[in-house]
Structure 1
């Protein structure tokens, strides 16, 4: 009996302890729930366009703006990046707000990074307010600007140097008419290439600075294709290349007809340049069931390798640099096409197979699906 009595006492004491522990935990939870954010903080975060959130002493997120969630700074009720957590801890012990430019990995889109100016500041005695400004696009544009300037310097150096050397050779050969004609022809080719390169740089800069949808016009795709074909017909006929158009369905898009004609012309010009003599270049148009106008340009060239396909639309990138320079290519044609198409709310796709040619397809929203008033273009 004494053993049974002792066992009963132990069990009873354990039950009492569990009841008291549960009651204490409930009291603490109620106490925490009674502590609310300072007045107005929640409303401000709800209307904030940038990323912002508030954390409690355990670094649990109590309130977050939509942008903080969209950029992946906050996942559930947790701060997603240890770098921000470290900044929060600094803010708890420092007199002033802690601020730092952070380079963060974007969890949902690993191919890009976030460059954020993050500022953490104490909010009352319990909370810390975190505000973040997204500088990703600013840094990206700065990198693009640096690369563009470096590329232009490199590309201009070759023809300018060639013009100088040819001018010297022309002067030295002034007594030899045959040599004068030879160097004069070379000088004309290099100056023409320099002029084309300068014009493409101006065109690309103009495309990056303008928006064709600010003054929308109805553009007839058949007219755009006709203009592009006529601009390439002489060179194609000289090499025995047949340009065939198919898909005569009337289709219109919203935008700038001159820009679209330049884009299609560049694709046709590339197809002619990289197709063998006596072959065929095809241009097809179609309208999908989803209201997308497709313009496909197909050649019978050597095709493009998978590695080159990933970079084919970069400025100054050439699949065959030597051949491109011989034919007067500037390396900007496809970059211009990409910018024109993107400015018109579309995209461009590439299919290619080595030994079987390539197909570039421009995809644009059909005008009938546009919800903006447009003017007819002359």
Structure 2
């Protein structure tokens, strides 16, 4: 059966959907990114026809030629978002227009076609509407439906040039809290031998290569008892940039907050921008500037630095308790919980996302 409900995507429900019992089992204890809903959205592009053949159909393996450009030249980008069920049963997402804008910027940097904002938003809505029973209830704590839009280059051939065809897809996975052990301060390993991005590179794009480059230093950090890795700038090896997948904030005893400025090598996080707005509304002076690793060490050691936290879509806000390097470490904030500032900002953000507080900024976008 095929029905047309939107201008870009046909709806092709699968007959072998997961049973109600299976969905309930998954939603009772959702992990992060391990179980996926029944369907996925897809629309294809080529240089001659543009965007075409949009559909929401059965989730399953992709048929991609071994010589497709994605496998050889890494033309790939992605986004991370969440759908939240509110108490009245409606389903919303958070600032999707910003994700659509960033997706377009990433596409330009990776020489991929830009997805129009209306197509991007429609793909989210069409998929969530069809698989809405996979969205956890409002009583489930920090549960949500994680949405992963992504694009891959599909042209077949080994010539080194921008692909003349691509596929844009959205998949979805019920998700619980990112850190299963609860909101506890994480330990951060200082990468001294590797950098995440360089000026003129792809640091401001959300592409798989940036994350692949972070995996070896992340594994190095894990061997030293750390949860994440922080990268310095590639030129001077002095300035703090970001973690493997989150932006950083530094809170001082006087309540002022510093976050590394966007230099073209740091991902422009949607959560980062929202935290800056909420912090200023709560009376904090927020400064975006270069922030050195020596400043972090010295101010943590002296006690001037009261809290450090990281933020991103998946984890929301996560306190950072330790910065570790081969011959030393410094600590900040409470040993077993988030500091007052991080906890307050996290609560404010979650209350907006889950509909418990008024959305004064028009950040929420209804899907269903």
TM-score range, shorter chain: under 0.3
Larger relative contact order (CA 8 Å, sep ≥ 6): 2
Structure number with the higher helix fraction is 1
The structure having more radius of gyration, on CA atoms, is 1
